Structure 1
Amino acid sequence: MSTPVNTAQDASADLPEFPMARPPRCPLDPPEGLRALQDDGPLTRVRLWNGSTPWLVTRHAEQKALSTDPRLSADPSSPGFPHATESKGGKLSFVTMDDPEHARLRRMVSGAFTVKRIEAMRPLVQDMVDGFIDDLLAGPNPVDLVEAFALPVPSLVICKLLDVPYEDHAFFQSNSKTLISRAATPDERLEAHQRLFRYLDDLVGRKMESAGDDLLSAVAARVKAGELSREDAALMGVLLLLGGHETTANMIALGTFTLLQHPEQLARLRETDDPKLIASSVEELLRYLTIAHNGRRRVALADIEIGGQVIRAGEGVIIASDLGNRDATVFPDPDQLDIARDARRHVAFGTGVHHCLGQPLARLELQVVYGTLYRRIPTLRLATDVDRIPFKHDGFIYGVHELPVTW
């Protein structure tokens, strides 16, 4: 009797795995294997940890088109969704929802993140950044820039915005780190999510009893008005707290490492007082680094014809933003860091209805940090060899675990 052949499984085994490892000698570039897939075409099949075979979208034009296509769902409970790891059900509020519920919940907090309101925070953020730099200069040397500066700055900012006690920052930073780690087990991630949820639920309860002039109080008021469940309010708080410090902290540290590896670019940034060049530096570093390096994940609700392929209903889709931001048809010489480049078409924050809500805040913080840190500490440099820097290959958000610096 012949042994039956599982052709689907055999075909899956021949597909490239995703995510791929970055080459140690090029820690700031997308994996070479992904660049080869981009050269082959805008869409290709890849194989995930569980054997599923979603579409990987590698080019900027198709990424923009699909990010605005309502036939793609962000709901991870939908059949065929391309999960990054085994999941135990920890929710992340409206980012994992589709319209109209996504839009309804997002509108409840979007007003706090308008460009005008965030810009009004610039003097406050400047004071915070200067204060942490004062502490750096008065403290030990060398120092880990991640712990002493990159994490504290955005943590304090989001604490002020939400009115979360900053003295609890070690608690939420530790649990956030577990939540976004690929190396953590499903149980560990679930437990971290539950701890954060209980913490935010308690804060929402306190705000319902005694409101202040802060974003979490505004969310709690929605609960009292019957517009929002307390569970959804706490989940929203988890999302805002997590998103408000993790991504920006990684951009501060990884951006600093990158500039130290490009001394001519660093010198231009350090010596300028032109806010336009500082702003363009932020956009270029966002493009060049793309720290959300595991792709934005969706599932098709209907057939979609694009890029010479047909994505069938129920098939997973991964939008590889790091590849879109290195698309040479949009960004000439994409592997070159050029802080004067007009990089505003980058997709580091996503596009469409799910574009990053907090991007005005992230931009403001990065503008203040990049425009201040290197000017005030002009001799800043690494305090260890480049090959000893521990990169976050194990995280959903890319960065460095530590960045020893001296001056």
Structure 2
Amino acid sequence: MSAEYAVPSSSSLERDAHEASSDHRVAPGEIAIGVVIGRAAEYFDFFVYGIASVLIFPGVFFPFADPLTGTLYAFAIFALAFVARPIGSVLFMEIDRRHGRGVKLTIALFLLGGSTMAISFLPNYNHLGAVAIWLLAAFRIGQGIALGGAWDGLASLLALNAPEKQRGWYAMIPQLGAPVGFILASALFAFFLANLSTEDFLDWGWRYPFFVAFAINVVALFARLRLVATEEFSRMLEMQELEPTPVLEVLRSHGRFVLIGAVVPLASFALFHLVTVFPISWIHLFTKRNAGEFLLVQCAGAFLAAGTIVISGLMADRIGRRTQVGVSAALILMFAVASIIAPIVFGDSELGQTIYVLGGFALLGLSYGQTSGSVTANLGSRYRYTGAALTSDLAWLIGAGFAPLVALSVSSRFGLSWVGVYLLSGAVATLCALGFNRRETARL
């Protein structure tokens, strides 16, 4: 490794990781494992917060409001992380440029795990008043800033090392972190719901998933630093394949591609929280179904999503990523139309709820599996690292950040059918973006 790169890599964790990895070249399989571990840790933090926004925060931090209003308040704070995420990307890109990727990742993941863990120690509203709400919002913003900084380029490195005819397969591997993170988070909450009284769960049981997040992020940090500290990763940096680029330069030269790239995955990102976070809120607020039992149904759905993510890689290599993304968006459009009709047909049927969630998770995996490729296909090597981060941030902000808040607000007033209308808009946006940018996205 060059001396220039060794200077900014000053954290003890990075030095340990470098010593552990200096004797061999990193293989694509090792990159894949590191990417999945890192993504799973990030999604664990976010899903723990999302589930708690339904089951915990309305009663703990908003006891002065009715359950529906309290949940809407919690979802509003939930959205703050997606607003803060682009700010985190800009801030940490500068840290990356000045001090190196190892320093950047160390700070970002400690901030992510620390912000999540800090929530576990928060006094409730009855003890601290409005200050508790402000602190909750501050830690949520910390999560968002940290997630922006956690962008490490490993997914791009994996894509650049992929065989030409297996790019779809390698593009789907990082996306497996999402179902893994959801399974861990939902299973933890389901366990405590099943084994604790309501009083104990609201008093201390809910805090445990937040507390363990710090340890999970430390493990993920070492797994990622072990790859970032390798000679091969350093060589990629020197070839300017994964160099951080000034944000304004990226926007001036590739602003159009960043915007279109943010719209391409909207169908998948809109569906993302409509099958993970929103259904829990509806079940918890408007039905008599046990929340812990429903979380286990969603766990089954996450396993199903992991399977369809793998299928998306096989499909993309056979028919092309652009076509695969378009087919997935068309299927989501059909699912959205069915979602408009389903509440009228099924009513409050638990079978209907289960079918909706499992079908939604299956479609989510099929579409989400190739979103990492769809947001970077139009970016040249010089702008790949920074441009992919900004594009992903904007896509999450537009497509998913406010989805639980909008879906619950609209459905509580006008009925569940309007959730289908919301999802329909995301599918139409994806198809329009693919059609508008047909020439540029032909490389997907």
TM-score by length of 1: 0.32
Q: Which has the higher strand share?
A: 1
